[in-house]
A and B are shown apart, each in its own frame.
Chain A
Amino acid sequence: MEANPRSPFSAIKIVECGEGISAAFGAKLIADLGAEVVKVEPPGGDLTRRRGPFPNDRPDPGKSGLFVYLNTNKRGVVADLTRPEGQKLLASLLERADVLIHNVAPSERAAHGLDSAALCAKYPRLIVTSVSMFGDTGPYANYRGYELTVSNASGWATLSPGASPYPDLPPLKCFGSQCDLQGGAHAAIATLAAYFHRLKSGRGQAIDISEQEVVAAMLEMNLMHYTYAGRVTSRLGNRALGPWFIADCLDGKIFVLAVEEDQWKRLVEFMGNPEWANDELFTDRLARGRNLDALKALMTEWLSGWKVQDLYREAQQRRIPFAPVNTMRQLYETEHLRERNFFVQIDQPGMGTLKLPGMPSRYGNTQWALRRPAPQLGEHGEEIFCGELGVGKEQFTALRQSGIV
């Protein structure tokens, strides 16, 4: 269960601080490959410890599902970085670290001893990766933000849900914490790139990640609709192509899609060559997008007679890219994911065995594994500060009594 000696990544030592999702996810992605991560929490504990989901909805900082997901494979300590003694502890961690990854807001960095330029000057080999909502510089650098803020500031919410007939309903955020998670994933990319560079050059550096920019770069042809053709995009209007809609089947919902003309031909054949399919309203994918309401109405009866899984498999066998609108239960029960062992188990103290989403990519040689559960608040403080960094037991007790650890 401990550090994997076969993993070349076990040589990478990461210190993570800040709160919430972005930095924690970035550090997790590298920890899952074998890197050693020390998570530094503020005395009140990370805010995802307060978000759950909790067993039976009873808030408990040791039993938050989101915290567990983001923080397996890490050891945890507490240090109050707003106080000089806490910053000294951080310094002792950074002395032997390769990477610092955090999401403390630019306006609060100096007070936490996390100024990027100062850290790079003091530790020339250290990679200092910071994730923020709007980046370290520019007019919005000190703006405050949450997931909803970035969904809107990046332009994503403006496009969502898309082809909406309801102008009175607002731009819509996607499920979950996509912007924060993407901030973390991009932080992991830039951090590994800097690490790869350091293997050659021996030099660390500072990395500045803006979640607004990260998400704005992921919005399909959004920006180019304006810069290429002068069109302003919106969550209202028509689908660019069709068929493209969510439909009801006997026992659930399916997403109906045919992107290419050959897929549409096979779909028409699959439906039994109904006469209406020859109507000029549906002559090509763009026309089928313009006339989607009519198309939907005509397909509804056929679709509603199927069970979701049967239709999904039959369509895919004809190389038509339908997919079920899966619930979470259905995902845990999907045969394909089971056969690929996608979900992985961890014994989380106090919560029992949990099945968590597993590896995003399957490596031929690099090992991906959940080696240890998420830490309880301050679980490894004594082990790390006293056992590895030479802080005396009495001193540690004093720090604990003054609320620093």
Chain B
Amino acid sequence: MADLPLSGIRVLDFTWAWAGPFCTMQLAHLGAEVIRIETTARPACPTRLLPPFADDVSGPNRAGYFNQYNQGKKSILMNLARPEAVELVGDMVKQCDIVADNFAAGVMDKLGLGYDRLRKFKPNLIMISMSGYGQTGPFRGFIGYGPPASAASGMFFGTGYEGGEPGEIGISYPDPNAGVFGAFALLAALAHRALTGEGQYIDQSQLETALVMVPEGLLEYEINRREPARIGNHDRLMAPNECYRAAGDDDWVSIAVGSEEEWKSLCRVMEKPALAQDPRFATAALRKQNEAALDQIVSEWTRARDRWQITRALQAAGVAAFPAMSNKDLAEDPHLEQRGYLVRLPHPEVGERIHAGIPWKMSGTPCSVRSSAPVRGADTEEVMKSLLGYTRDKVEQLRKAGVLV
């Protein structure tokens, strides 16, 4: 077995949609054996049912969304409405270190799979429930999704074009964000267990994980009793700091200047020596004050030029510039390719597709995505055998009885 940070750690994964699977994928990336429990008692995981499907042919194993966030995991399929299935889960928990779910508060208890019950099978069990609002408090029963959590956390209120209305943020960001904090909490709990022998239960609220990411806004209010201003791509102190239109159909390039040296370099690359002497832009504070005029000047320069030529010329001079990348740009990016970030692994139904890989490199325990996302129920028999020692006949009996699928 490869020597990975979480080699030998086994996770029973009841998560669905995006936040939970994003959490357990981090553990799979780090070497844990992550076993997804899929059940016929509920609809299939929503990410199996949403486009894009491979070559636009729909099917639960062809969804890019599911296949991205379940890389490196196993899948078993059972009917959790059956008491025998719940008993089977208890036997599996004995062999596991972690149980993860992201149902609304109370759902695991109703399934007979609450922490108090499961810890009887494994006294030092670590369990995390990632819900929308947490397991306590007046909103504990509310349902949460990523976009409403963006609204509730103040992210919409703070985002938006200058002088405009509160804006959306393009992705269901609080979902993967909750997954990140879930993964951190589980690693903390694993370290805690290694140091003390204790397991524990972790109650995580998606709203709260989003709120730790808006300190600038919350502290603006706490310190000055003032709401944060919407300033688009601008920065409170730095200018220029904007995404400018470049030559092409809908091509854009970001340019950000944080020091005098970078400002002088920008003027030099734009071949506007007079600008470096212009009193309107002589200091950072003045550049910020005269930002509109500055944006006008920079955008006139970028508009006629290719975004990559701009990027290369400015970066060669030490100025932070980069194109607004599309998904195609990312998939074809030589830097990401060279760093081994883009993953192509065989999948029985969709073949080899490019996926986003692991965003850290560890010199002593090199992590890699070990397999593509599982076909629904692909590992039922193997897991029953390896975890519980069941024979093929026994698995077949359970299938006939409608416990396993």
State in angstroms the CA–CA spacing of A134 and B55 once bound together. 31
Q: Which of B1-37 contact A (CB under 8 A)?
A: 3-6, 18, 22, 26, 30
Residues of A within 8 A of B279 (CB): none
Apart from the given pairs A9-B191, A321-B148, 6 other A-B contacts in the complex at a CB distance below 8 Å: A8-B191, A175-B154, A192-B187, A194-B5, A362-B204, A362-B205
Does A103 reach chain B (CB closer than 8 Å)?
no
Q: Which of B34-82 contact A (CB under 8 A)?
A: 46, 50-56, 62, 64-65, 67-68
Cβ of A292 to closest chain B Cβ, rounded Å: 12
Q: Does B360 contact A219, Cβ atoms closer than 8 Å? A: no
User: Which of A88-96, A149-157, A267-275, A295-303 contacts its partner?
Assistant: A149-157
Cβ contact of B52, chosen from A203, A224, A254, A329, cutoff 8 A:
A224
Q: Which of B104-157 contact A (CB under 8 A)?
A: 128, 132-134, 136-145, 147-157
Residues of A within 8 A of B364 (CB): 194, 197, 201, 203-206
Cβ of B196 to closest chain A Cβ, rounded Å: 5
Cβ contact of B211, chosen from A171, A190, A331, cutoff 8 A:
A331
State in angstroms the CA–CA spacing of A136 and B149 once bound together. 34
Cβ contact of A354, chosen from B138, B222, B227, cutoff 8 A:
B222
User: Which of B85-93, B270-278, B331-339, B396-404 contacts its partner?
Assistant: B331-339
Q: 9 A-B contacts, Cβ less than 8 Å apart?
A: A138-B339, A149-B256, A186-B359, A189-B360, A192-B187, A207-B361, A328-B228, A332-B222, A363-B192
Q: Does A65 contact B219, Cβ atoms closer than 8 Å? A: yes
Q: Does A189 contact B325, Cβ atoms closer than 8 Å? A: no
Q: Does A363 contact B6, Cβ atoms closer than 8 Å? A: no
Cβ of B123 to closest chain A Cβ, rounded Å: 13
Cβ contact of B5, chosen from A160, A171, A197, A359, cutoff 8 A:
A197
Cβ contact of B359, chosen from A173, A217, A255, cutoff 8 A:
A217
Residues of A within 8 A of B327 (CB): 155, 158, 222-227, 232-233
Residues of B within 8 A of A196 (CB): 5-6, 187, 190-191, 194
Given contacts A120-B363, A154-B325, A255-B156, contact A11 B331 (CB under 8 A): no
Residues of B within 8 A of A139 (CB): 334-335, 338
Q: Does A210 contact B168, Cβ atoms closer than 8 Å? A: no
Cβ of B385 to closest chain A Cβ, rounded Å: 27
Q: Does B224 contact A53, Cβ atoms closer than 8 Å? A: yes
Contact mask for chain A residues 337-365; partner B; CB cutoff 8 A; 1 contact, 0 none = 10110100000000100111111111111
Given contacts A66-B219, A229-B53, A332-B218, contact A213 B325 (CB under 8 A): no
Q: Could you tell me how many residues of chain B have their Cβ less than 8 Å away from some Cβ of chain A?
A: 158
Contact mask for chain A residues 1-20; partner B; CB cutoff 8 A; 1 contact, 0 none = 00000001101000000000
Given contacts A172-B161, A221-B68, A361-B209, contact A229 B56 (CB under 8 A): yes
Residues of A within 8 A of B245 (CB): 170
Residues of B within 8 A of A178 (CB): 173, 213
Q: Does A149 contact B215, Cβ atoms closer than 8 Å? A: no
Q: Does B363 contact A207, Cβ atoms closer than 8 Å? A: yes
Contact mask for chain A residues 180-196; partner B; CB cutoff 8 A; 1 contact, 0 none = 01100111111011111
Q: Does B339 contact A210, Cβ atoms closer than 8 Å? A: yes
Residues of B within 8 A of A56 (CB): 224
Q: Does A148 contact B256, Cβ atoms closer than 8 Å? A: yes
Residues of B within 8 A of A149 (CB): 254, 256, 320-322
Does A405 reach chain B (CB closer than 8 Å)?
no
Residues of B within 8 A of A134 (CB): 335
Q: Does B335 contact A162, Cβ atoms closer than 8 Å? A: no
Cβ of A325 to closest chain B Cβ, rounded Å: 5
Contact mask for chain B residues 228-267; partner A; CB cutoff 8 A; 1 contact, 0 none = 1000110111100111110000101110101000100000
Q: Does A327 contact B254, Cβ atoms closer than 8 Å? A: no
Cβ contact of B315, chosen from A9, A117, A144, A221, cutoff 8 A:
A144
State in angstroms the CA–CA spacing of A234 and B251 once bound together. 11
Contacts from A to B (Cβ < 8 Å): 8-9, 11, 29, 33, 50-57, 65-66, 68-70, 116-117, 120, 134-140, 142-149, 151-163, 167, 169-178, 181-182, 185-190, 192-197, 199, 201, 203-210, 212-214, 216-229, 231-236, 240, 244, 246, 253-255, 257, 259, 316, 319, 321-329, 331-332, 335-337, 339-340, 342, 351, 354-366
Does B165 reach chain A (CB closer than 8 Å)?
yes
Does B208 reach chain A (CB closer than 8 Å)?
yes
Given contacts A213-B341, A216-B356, A221-B65, contact A171 B334 (CB under 8 A): no
State in angstroms the CA–CA spacing of A257 and B151 once bound together. 11
Q: Does A188 contact B184, Cβ atoms closer than 8 Å? A: yes
- Closest B residue to A160 by beta carbon equals B170
State in angstroms the CA–CA spacing of A157 and B173 once bound together. 12
Given contacts A199-B194, A228-B353, A331-B154, contact A148 B359 (CB under 8 A): no
User: Which of B174-182, B286-294, B374-382, B387-395 contacts its partner?
Assistant: B174-182
Given contacts A170-B243, A177-B216, A228-B353, contact A323 B236 (CB under 8 A): no
State in angstroms the CA–CA spacing of A155 and B18 once bound together. 19
- Closest B residue to A316 by beta carbon equals B142
- Closest A residue to B115 by beta carbon equals A364
Contact mask for chain B residues 317-358; partner A; CB cutoff 8 A; 1 contact, 0 none = 011111111111111001110110100000000100111111
Given contacts A231-B52, A319-B143, contact A53 B355 (CB under 8 A): no
Q: Does A357 contact B212, Cβ atoms closer than 8 Å? A: yes
- Closest A residue to B219 by beta carbon equals A65
Does B202 reach chain A (CB closer than 8 Å)?
yes
Q: Does A155 contact B360, Cβ atoms closer than 8 Å? A: no
Q: Does A148 contact B158, Cβ atoms closer than 8 Å? A: no
Cβ contact of B208, chosen from A66, A69, A232, A359, cutoff 8 A:
A359
State in angstroms the CA–CA spacing of A138 and B335 once bound together. 5
For the complex of A and B, 3 pairs with smallest distance between CB atoms: A224-B64, A160-B170, A205-B364
Q: Does A135 contact B212, Cβ atoms closer than 8 Å? A: no
Residues of A within 8 A of B319 (CB): 144
Q: Does A65 contact B222, Cβ atoms closer than 8 Å? A: yes
Residues of B within 8 A of A199 (CB): 191, 194-195
Does B203 reach chain A (CB closer than 8 Å)?
yes
Q: Does A228 contact B54, Cβ atoms closer than 8 Å? A: yes
Residues of B within 8 A of A194 (CB): 5, 362, 364-365
User: Among A148, A167, A254, which residue has the most Cβ atoms of chain B within 10 A?
Assistant: A148
Q: Does B184 contact A189, Cβ atoms closer than 8 Å? A: yes
Cβ of A289 to closest chain B Cβ, rounded Å: 11
State in angstroms the CA–CA spacing of A340 and B165 once bound together. 31
Residues of A within 8 A of B212 (CB): 357-358, 360
Q: Does B159 contact A137, Cβ atoms closer than 8 Å? A: no
Q: Does B180 contact A182, Cβ atoms closer than 8 Å? A: yes
State in angstroms the CA–CA spacing of A143 and B40 once bound together. 49
Q: Does A323 contact B152, Cβ atoms closer than 8 Å? A: yes
Does B368 reach chain A (CB closer than 8 Å)?
no
Q: Does A339 contact B137, Cβ atoms closer than 8 Å? A: yes
Cβ contact of A361, chosen from B204, B218, B244, B354, cutoff 8 A:
B204
Cβ of B152 to closest chain A Cβ, rounded Å: 4
- Closest B residue to A151 by beta carbon equals B254
Cβ contact of A175, chosen from B68, B211, B214, cutoff 8 A:
B214
State in angstroms the CA–CA spacing of A316 and B143 once bound together. 7
Q: Does A176 contact B158, Cβ atoms closer than 8 Å? A: yes
Residues of B within 8 A of A329 (CB): 221, 225, 227
